[in-house]
């Protein structure tokens, strides 16, 4: 556990002694707050006693914290993969420390940011991958205790005040602090929205206080009963008691009132200035909720001032774009800068998944999937993931495109003669190669990235590169085998359509064939890499992918031709090799 976390545990503070209620120092005027012209002092703590401030901070904190947050790795083809096995993924997705869940930490962190304009967390380091120091825990620090400073070398550090705890102050270097600043004029320390808008919040608190006194202690009779003469104390008490007993309270309105001795009744309305009290409070709610925190009025309860939208989807889109997006980008970039090393930032990045907020109704989602699926833009498993369904298995990772589609410039042109089987075969093969090129490139890309990362590290640290390549074939086979198998099934379907032959009986044989083929590909890849002086980063991924598509298609077709004549062991075609050109 980090130094601040250890101090907090040693303090063994109870709920009423927590720094949330008794902050240290005089940051923004301390716990009492800075006086305002309206008379109510305002601080980040007591401002949350105003319902609209509490609601705004709660909405923004809960909505950002409840969004899934993933660590991604770019695949080199404008795509990305989730990095589940990286410890930093679990920090912000599952649990940042042994005492907090991810949503509790991120909600706390965001509430600090929208209240103080800054959010801080101490990074605890431990032994990570490859024996290097790795962030293993994050511990939030209350912002009112933190001051950002520079040392004599102009390096940034964070001074943490422990005032009121009996413990010495702590200085943390920049490397040990996760810091997300809000709106700022120097880019280093954010301004507190509550401190900047304390006059508006102070007016809201004063209005609330006025309402309390108005309804709690004020004298506001609904009617006045006058008597032409002078009443004795006993007469006054009798008339007051009789009127109160018969006409005051719930269920006693509209009763007949009998007046004697010339008494008169005069009804009193609410003065105009007091009648505008609720309207003024509503205006202050909008002033705080929409102008300071940029939330739609209905998000903090002002439904009569809410804008209308064509659908819930349009409202969510407006909320995400105009309110949440800037906060999410601010958080993501601070995570990238603080939790990723400089050389990792080009490959890895944190990002919130906002698709859940932008979900349309069932009809809109169905139309969206139907438009993307025939273009090969989305797989069945990706649809299941977006709908929060279980995947249907490896076969759900296939992408489908119609084989009867032609380029736009060829549409409508008459065919002189019906295409032959050979012409159809060439056309189908070309379309099938184009449909699977992305999948082959992705698989090869994962292989080359893993190779580059490990080889570069081994070179820098004097490791055994040959030992790495001896163990590397297993990794290669795991990457290419699913793609090879899916492609072989597509080729088998193409041959069935072209030749009218059924190959259902050969499914197990094809799977065995692909397993051997993938092993041969891995062996030849390793052999070439051991004699090739090129750096792993210089490998042409698309060239390897294109070569393998053509080689595998030729091998599968040849294998099917042999199987259709007899069953049994069949000679295996070699993977396509650059040296065979």
Q: CATH 3.40.140 in the chain, residues?
A: 3-19+62-192
Give the percent of the chain with pLDDT over 70. Answer: 74
Q: What is the mean pLDDT of residues 271-300?
A: 78
Residue 470, pLDDT > 50, answer yes
Which tops the pLDDT comparison, 469 or 566?
A: 469
Q: What pLDDT sits at residue 207? A: 80
Most confident of 58-62, 193-197, 492-496: 58-62
Q: What pLDDT sits at residue 443? A: 86
How buried is residue 433: exposed, middle or buried, by Cβ count under 10 Å (0-12/13-18/19+)?
middle
Q: What is the mean pLDDT of residues 65-89?
A: 86
Q: What pLDDT sits at residue 175? A: 93
Q: What pLDDT sits at residue 119? A: 95
Q: What is the mean pLDDT of residues 513-541?
A: 77
**How many alpha carbons lie under 13 Å from residue 261 in its C-beta half-sphere?**
9
Quickly state the pLDDT bin for 581 (edges 50, 70, 90): very low
Q: What pLDDT sits at residue 62? A: 93
Rounded CA separation 197/328 (Å): 22
Domain 3-19+62-192, CATH 3.40.50 — does that match? Answer: no
Most confident of 135-144, 200-209, 347-356, 369-378: 135-144
**SS3 category, 195:** helix
Which tops the pLDDT comparison, 256 or 33?
A: 33
Q: What pLDDT sits at residue 274? A: 57
Q: What is the pLDDT of residues 417-447, one digit of tens each?
A: 545 555 556 777 787 788 788 888 888 888 8
Q: What is the mean pLDDT of residues 266-278?
A: 61
CA angle, residues 435, 440, 441, in degrees to nearest 5: 105
Kindly state the tokens that stand for 6: 């250890």
Which tops the pLDDT comparison, 419 or 255?
A: 255
Q: What is the mean pLDDT of residues 372-389?
A: 80
Q: What pLDDT sits at residue 438? A: 82
Q: What is the mean pLDDT of residues 223-246?
A: 76
Q: What pLDDT sits at residue 572? A: 41
Quickly state the pLDDT bin for 558 (edges 50, 70, 90): confident
Which tops the pLDDT comparison, 189 or 23?
A: 189
Q: What is the mean pLDDT of residues 278-289?
A: 81
Q: What pLDDT sits at residue 574? A: 46
Which tops the pLDDT comparison, 229 or 565?
A: 229
Residues whose CB falls within 8 Å of the CB of residue 28, separated by 6 or more in sequence, listed in order: 34, 43, 44, 144, 192, 194, 195
Give the percent of the chain with pLDDT over 90. Answer: 20
**SS3 category, 388:** coil
Q: What pLDDT sits at residue 242? A: 76
Q: What pLDDT sits at residue 112? A: 95
Which of 276-280, 377-381, 432-436 comes out lowest in average pLDDT?
276-280
- As a three-state string, the secondary structure of 434-489 is HHHHHHHHHHHHHHHHHHHHHHHHHHHHCCCHHHHHHHHHHHHHHHHHHHHHHHHH
Fill in the DSSP letter of residue 127: E
Residue 11, pLDDT > 70, answer no
Q: What is the mean pLDDT of residues 197-219?
A: 75
Q: What pLDDT sits at residue 426? A: 72
Structure-token match 């943390």, residue found: 172
Nearest Cα to Cα of residue 334 among 549, 581, 138, 573:
138
Q: What pLDDT sits at residue 500? A: 67
Q: What pLDDT sits at residue 416? A: 52
Mean pLDDT of the chain: 78
Q: What is the mean pLDDT of residues 528-537?
A: 62
Q: What is the pLDDT of residues 86-131, one digit of tens each?
A: 889 999 999 999 999 999 999 999 999 999 999 999 999 887 654 5
Q: What is the mean pLDDT of residues 125-142?
A: 79
Q: What is the mean pLDDT of residues 173-188?
A: 92
* Beta-strand relationship, 133-141 and 118-127: antiparallel
């Amino acid at each position: 556990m980090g130094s601040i976390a250890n101090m907090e545990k040693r303090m063994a503070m109870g709920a009423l002694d927590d720094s949330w209620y008794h902050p240290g120092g005089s940051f923004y005027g301390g716990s009492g707050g800075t006086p305002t012209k309206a008379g109510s002092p305002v601080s980040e703590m007591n401002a949350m006693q105003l319902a609209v401030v509490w609601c705004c901070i709660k909405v923004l904190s809960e909505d950002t914290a409840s969004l899934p947050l993933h660590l991604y790795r770019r695949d080199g083809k404008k795509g990305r993969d989730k990095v589940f096995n990286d410890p930093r993924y679990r920090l912000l997705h599952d649990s940042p420390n042994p005492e907090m869940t991810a949503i509790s930490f991120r909600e706390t962190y965001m509430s600090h940011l929208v209240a103080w304009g800054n959010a801080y967390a101490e990074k605890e380091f431990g032994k990570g991958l490859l024996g290097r120091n790795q962030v293993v825990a994050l511990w939030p620090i209350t912002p009112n205790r933190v001051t950002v400073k520079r040392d004599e070398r102009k390096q940034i550090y964070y001074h943490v005040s422990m005032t009121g705890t009996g413990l010495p102050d702590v200085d943390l270097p920049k490397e040990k602090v996760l810091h997300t600043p809000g709106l700022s004029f120097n880019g280093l320390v954010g301004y507190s929205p509550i401190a900047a808008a304390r006059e508006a919040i102070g007016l809201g608190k004063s209005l609330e206080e006025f309402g309390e006194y108005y309804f709690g202690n004020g004298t506001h009779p609904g009617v006045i009963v006058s008597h032409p003469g002078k009443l004795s104390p006993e007469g006054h008490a009798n008339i007051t008691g009789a009127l109160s007993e018969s006409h005051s309270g719930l269920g006693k309105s509209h009763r007949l009132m009998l007046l004697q001795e010339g008494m008169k009744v005069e009804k009193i309305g609410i003065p105009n200035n007091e009648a505008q009290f609720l309207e003024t409070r509503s205006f202050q709610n909008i002033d705080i909720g929409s102008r300071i925190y940029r939330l739609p009025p209905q998000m903090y309860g002002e439904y009569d001032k809410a804008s209308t939208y064509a659908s819930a989807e349009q409202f969510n889109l407006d909320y995400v774009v105009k309110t949440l997006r800037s906060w999410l980008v601010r958080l993501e970039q601070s995570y990238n800068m603080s939790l990723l090393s400089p050389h990792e930032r080009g490959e890895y990045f944190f990002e919130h998944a906002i698709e859940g907020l932008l979900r349309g109704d069932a009809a809109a989602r169905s139309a969206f999937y139907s438009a993307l699926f025939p273009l090969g833009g989305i797989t069945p498993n990706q649809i299941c993931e977006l709908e929060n369904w279980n995947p249907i298995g490896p076969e759900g990772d296939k992408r489908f495109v119609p084989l009867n589609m032609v380029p736009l410039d060829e549409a409508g042109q008459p065919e002189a003669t019906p295409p032959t089987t050979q012409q159809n075969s060439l056309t189908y093969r070309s379309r099938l190669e184009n449909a699977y090129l992305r999948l082959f490139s992705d698989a090869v890309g994962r292989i080359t990235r893993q190779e580059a990362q490990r080889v570069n590290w081994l070179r820098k640290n004097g490791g055994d590169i040959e030992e790495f390549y001896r163990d590397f074939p297993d990794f290669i086979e795991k990457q290419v085998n699913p793609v090879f198998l899916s492609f072989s099934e597509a080729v088998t379907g193409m041959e069935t359509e072209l030749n009218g032959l059924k190959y259902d009986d050969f499914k197990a044989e094809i799977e065995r064939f692909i397993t051997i083929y993938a092993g041969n590909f891995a062996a030849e890849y390793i052999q070439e890499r051991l004699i090739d002086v090129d750096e792993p980063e210089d490998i042409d991924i698309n060239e390897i992918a294109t070569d393998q598509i053509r080689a595998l298609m030729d091998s599968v077709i040849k294998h099917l031709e042999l199987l259709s004549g007899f069953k049994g062991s069949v000679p295996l075609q070699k993977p396509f090799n650059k040296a065979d050109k």
